[in-house]
Amino acid sequence: MQTESITIHATDTDILLPTTHLRELLMANHVSEEIIKSCETALADLLKKIVVDAYHNDEQQLITVNISYNGKGVYIETQDEGVPSDVPVHRVIAAKNLLPPESENEVETQTETKQDILDEVWYEVDMGKNIWQLVKYL
């Protein structure tokens, strides 16, 4: 398994770095552009949420991002010490393991965008840290 870890400040500029590392790691392993974009989008959205909601734009705060790839999937974990999230996880990032569709129209929408959805998203607060885990299986 290949793993990269990067710690960044909670700034709009710094949150671009992990997505760049993610892209480089996945391109080096010949992962499809579709999956790379899906993972990049999910990570960028999550990092923006952490900066705004968890840290209230406090640029002195840190976020640690761990990115792993093993041929079977892409695994991304973030850790921060900001305010715990009170927003339901499924409203932050779409993933197959989160709430089931509420209607037939939602089933159609999910089918159309299925390739853009992560397979799993997990969130927990442990020892004063917010821990997000994003998974995209190949």
The model's pLDDT over 66-88, given as tens digits with 9 standing for 90+, comes to 999 999 999 999 999 999 999 88
Per-residue pLDDT of 110-127, as tens digits, reads 444 455 689 999 999 999
**What is the number of structural domains in the chain?**
1
107 pLDDT exceeds 60?
Answer: no
Instruction: Give the pLDDT score at 110.
Output: 46
Q: Which of 94, 111, 109, 106 is nearest to 46 (CA)?
A: 94
Q: Which residues of 49-59 are buried (b: 16+ CB within 10 A; e: fewer)?
A: bbbebbbeeee
Per-residue pLDDT of 45-58, as tens digits, reads 999 999 999 999 99
- Which CATH number do you get for residue 65? 3.30.565.10
Q: What is the pTM (predicted TM-score) of this model?
A: 0.88
What amino acid is encoded at 127 in this protein? Answer: M
Q: Which residues of 1-15 are buried (b: 16+ CB within 10 A; e: fewer)?
A: eeeeeeebbbbeebb
Kindly report the number of other CB atoms within 10 A of residue 118's CB atom: 23
Place of tokens 């992990």: 18
Residue 130 domain boundaries: 2-137
Least confident of 26-40, 99-113, 120-134: 99-113
Least confident of 29-33, 53-57, 99-103, 126-130: 99-103
Are 64 and 14 in contact by the 8 Å Cβ rule? The answer is no
Are 3 and 67 in contact by the 8 Å Cβ rule? The answer is yes
Q: Compute the distance between CA of residue 26 and CA of residue 38 in angstroms, rounded to an integer.
A: 12
